[in-house]
Amino acid sequence: MVWPHGFNDLRKAARRRLPRFLFDYVDGGSFDELAIARNVNAVRAVALRQRVLNDVSQSDLSTTLFGQKLAMPLMLAPVGMGGMLRRRGEIQAVRAAQANGVPAVLSTVTLCSADEITAATQAPFWFQLYMAKDRGFVMDLLAKVKALGCNTLFMTVDLPVPGPRWRDQRSGLSGPPGALGQWRRWREIVTHPRWTWDVGVQGRPHTLGNLVPIMEGKVKMADFLRWSGQNFDPSVTWKDLEFIRNHWDGPLILKGIIDPEDAVRVADLGADGLVVSNHGGRQLDGSVGTAEALPAIAEAVGERLTVLIDGGIRNGLDIVRMLALGAKGVMIG
Burial code of 140-170, b = ≥16 C-beta within 10 A, e = fewer?
A: ebbebbbebebbbbbbbbbbeeebebbbbeb
pLDDT at 299: 98
Burial code of 182-214, b = ≥16 C-beta within 10 A, e = fewer?
A: eebbeebbeebeebbebbbeebeeebbbbbeeb
Preceding peptide of 176 cis, ω within 30°: yes
pLDDT at 108: 94
pLDDT at 271: 95
> 259 CB contacts (<8 Å, ≥6 apart)?
293, 297
- 261-270: long-range pairs with CB below 8 Å, 24+: 263/297, 263/300, 263/301, 263/305, 263/307, 264/300, 264/301, 265/238, 266/301, 266/305, 267/301, 267/304, 267/305, 269/238, 269/241, 270/245
Distance from C-alpha of 88 to C-alpha of 55, rounded to nearest angstrom: 43
Residues forming a β-bridge with 104: 76
Query: Could you give the angle at the alpha carbon of 20 between the alpha carbons of 233 and 33, nearest 5°?
Result: 55
pLDDT at 211: 87
Rg (CA), the chain: 20
Residue 133, number of CB atoms within 10 A of its CB: 14
247 part of the active site: no
CB 17 within 8 A of CB 195: yes
Can you count the helices (H) and strands (E) in the chain?
14, 10
Distance from C-alpha of 103 to C-alpha of 95, rounded to nearest angstrom: 10
pLDDT at 176: 76
Distance from C-alpha of 78 to C-alpha of 126, rounded to nearest angstrom: 9
Cα–Cα distances in Å, from 217 out to 22, 129, 185, 208? 23, 21, 22, 10
CB 73 within 8 A of CB 323: yes
pLDDT at 94: 97
Residues in the chain: 333
pLDDT at 224: 66
Q: What is the pLDDT along the chain (333 residues), one digit of tens a residue?
A: 678 899 999 999 999 999 999 999 999 999 999 999 999 999 999 999 999 999 999 999 999 999 999 999 999 999 999 999 999 999 999 999 999 999 999 999 999 999 999 999 999 999 999 998 889 999 999 999 999 999 999 999 998 888 889 999 888 888 777 788 888 889 999 999 999 999 999 999 888 899 888 776 655 666 666 667 677 888 999 998 889 988 999 999 999 999 999 999 999 999 999 999 999 999 999 999 999 999 999 999 999 999 999 999 999 999 999 999 999 999 999
